[in-house]
Amino acid sequence: MQDRQINLVFKALAHPERRRILDSLRERPDQSLFEICTWSVATKGKVLSRQTVSQHLDMLERAGLIQVTWKGRTKMHSFVVDPLRDAVAIAVSPYLRRKWK
């Protein structure tokens, strides 16, 4: 994994709404944009426009944290954990193993 990809993963995780979207996709994979928007309203009482959710999904996809598949004409989104594991292993683990004074 390159530094650029690691940066994208952490940038994607920096926004609380993107983390909430990942939580939703972790609990229930293969959700459409409509389902994700509906989930946001149902669970958080927070109305997000389709455009806003689309932008968040685009960032998560660029970071490799979601996979997009098609069911007919509908894009379905699922959480992919491997890029997150890789980014943590490369960027964070060295600091956790070192003994600090």
Domains of the chain, residue spans = 3-96
- What is the model's pLDDT at position 26? 96
Rounded to whole angstroms, the Cα distance separating 27 from 74 reads 20
The pTM of this model reads 0.88
| Cβ pair 40, 23 in contact under 8 A | no
Percent above pLDDT 70 for the chain? 97
Question: Which strand (E) or helix (H) includes residue 75?
Answer: strand 74-79
Q: Which of 47, 46, 66 lies closest to 56, judged by CA?
A: 66
| Cβ pair 84, 78 in contact under 8 A | no
Domain 3-96 has CATH 3.75.10.20: no
- What is the model's pLDDT at position 100? 66
Rounded to whole angstroms, the Cα distance separating 41 from 46 reads 5
Write down the residue that tokens 């004409």 correspond to: 73
